[in-house]
Amino acid sequence: MRVVIAEDSVLLRDGLTRLLTDRGMEVVGAVGDGEALLALVDQLAGASTESGGESGGGVPDVVVADVRMPPTHTDEGVRACIELRARHPEVGTLVLSQYVEERYASELLASTTRGVGYLLKDRVAEVREFVDAVSRVAAGGTALDPEVVAQLLGRSRRHDTLEALTPREREVLGLMAEGRSNTAVARQLVVSDGAVEKHVSNIFLKLGLTQSPEDHRRVLAVLRYLNS
């Protein structure tokens, strides 16, 4: 797995590089600002094109980036990730933040939840969970910090857009938004896989998400939840 890290703190950047490298991932670049991130991924993509897409080159599988980076330390990191998704949609983007910034999370998740994550920096200390989140995003999945999900759920309740769902169905949808599979949801809630499947089916029905070969109902349900 190929990873690019974008973090202006040299100490944290080196720490992330060492952590991921020790777990078998290849850190192909580490930069300190958003512009450098975009330039590096474009460069890697260009190098792959020139070499005919030979194995070992090309864009990274995932980018791990801080929300706030130079020059203003406001939203340069998340802006760079949004631009990166437009230029290279095949690259997963995992954003790290000191605390929950609901607007940035919503903007990052506005178009799709495929290959995207938003974690609080404290989560890095939980090494197994962090590495799992990086792997999940790289594989096209979703990894959302539970605190991010809780805040977005609170907003959805204020707007009453998901009022048709039962409390348990909201709980299941919240865990889906964190990127968890039905089996993982069942384990978290201490219920059977069949019970979770029933809740998921009810969620699809109440949100009006009919089965279609062109659409991924699980992603659409999470998007409805996050953008409500």
State the average pLDDT for the chain: 84
> Residue 68: CB partners within 8 Å, gap ≥ 6?
74, 75, 76, 77, 97, 98
pLDDT averaged over 10-residue windows placed end to end, the chain, 228 residues: 95 95 96 95 79 65 94 88 91 90 74 83 89 94 82 56 82 87 92 93 83 66 70
**pLDDT tens digits for 23-71?**
999 999 999 999 999 999 999 988 765 555 554 568 999 999 999 898 8
Rounded (5°) CA angle 49-51-54: 100
Is the omega angle on the peptide bond into residue 71 within 30 degrees of 0, that is, cis? Answer: yes
Closest among 226, 225, 196 to 102, alpha carbons compared: 226
- Beta 26-31 vs 2-6: how paired, if at all? parallel
